[in-house]
Amino acid sequence: MDSRCRVIFFLATVLLFGASVIPLSHPAYAGDEEVDFLSDDFYDDDPEEPEFYDPLEKFNRIVFEFNDTVFIWILEPVATGYSYAVPYDFRISIYNFFRNLEEPVRLVNALLQGRVGDAGTLLGRFLVNSTFGVYGLGDAAAREFNLPPVEATLGETLATWGIGDGFYIVVPLFGSSTLRDFTGTVIDGLGLTPYYSWTDDIYVLGGIYMGKETNKLSFRVGEYEELKKVFFDPYVAFRNAYFQYRRKLRDEAPDKSIFE
């Protein structure tokens, strides 16, 4: 692994923070399907607890408290100030730009999962938004060509190939995940390496990632505290909510096998 890959690997595991620090993970922002974690409709009425394997609970709780402290005292204040300083439309454009850069990675994952239709949508979105959307700053694909955003991660790809979740983990400065999904997240991040080949300066790369994730978090300022207020044990509640969200994705997926 050359120095650039090592830098990206480090940043993918440490600096991909922001909204992902909220243990619910998988946030929906502008342009994505809206997910309201504060709504009672999100939570399953089925009293059966979601299935999970959490052998590292003691360690995970320590990391959870660390993430909570960093989020409350550093990340959210920064994102709050950023949201006041930067106009909403400009923040939307920044989000769209980075999402467009990630479309080829989603395209590859969709193909590896056998989702040919979604792969075509992702290819169309990338081509349209890179041209008509002015390098991805606008989402012309969804607005003008009826090509909605599509999610496809390596974690889903590995699940398609029969690889199980492994165990539940709370990653420092990242949040809730499983061994399989976090591994997929890191590798997906490595897939973006060509975009940053113009520099191997760790501070420049770190600034890009921090700016991108702070921008994403600015759309959900205040939600984390509202969630914590209604939970007796936030760790257990957020862990269950994470798996409930994954179950909803599984139940709503056209090809449910990708989550089995």
Q: Which residues contact 176 (CB under 8 A, 6 or more apart)?
A: 23, 24, 25, 168, 169, 170, 238, 239, 242
Number of domains in the chain: 1
Which residue stretches of the chain have pLDDT < 50? 1, 4-47, 256-260
pLDDT the model gives residue 202: 79
Q: What is the pLDDT of residue 38?
A: 43
Tokens 């619910």 correspond to 24
Provide the domain limits for residue 123.
Answer: 3-259
For 81, other C-beta atoms within 10 Å of its C-beta total: 13
Residue 149: per-residue pLDDT: 94
Asked whether 184 and 155 are in contact (CB, 8 A), the reply is: yes
Give 176's DSSP letter.
Answer: E
- What's the pLDDT at 256? 46
Say what the pLDDT of residue 260 is: 47
Distance separating alpha carbons of residues 88 and 68, to the nearest angstrom: 26
pTM of the complete model = 0.75
DSSP 43: S
Q: What is the structure's pLDDT at 35?
A: 46
Measure the CA dihedral 247/248/249/255, to 10°: 80
pLDDT digits (tens, 9 = 90+) for 71-96: 999 999 999 999 999 999 999 999 99
Which residues touch 102 (CB under 8 Å, ≥6 apart)?
188, 192
Q: How confident is the model over 198-224, as pLDDT tens digits?
A: 677 778 877 888 888 899 999 988 888
pLDDT at 190: 86
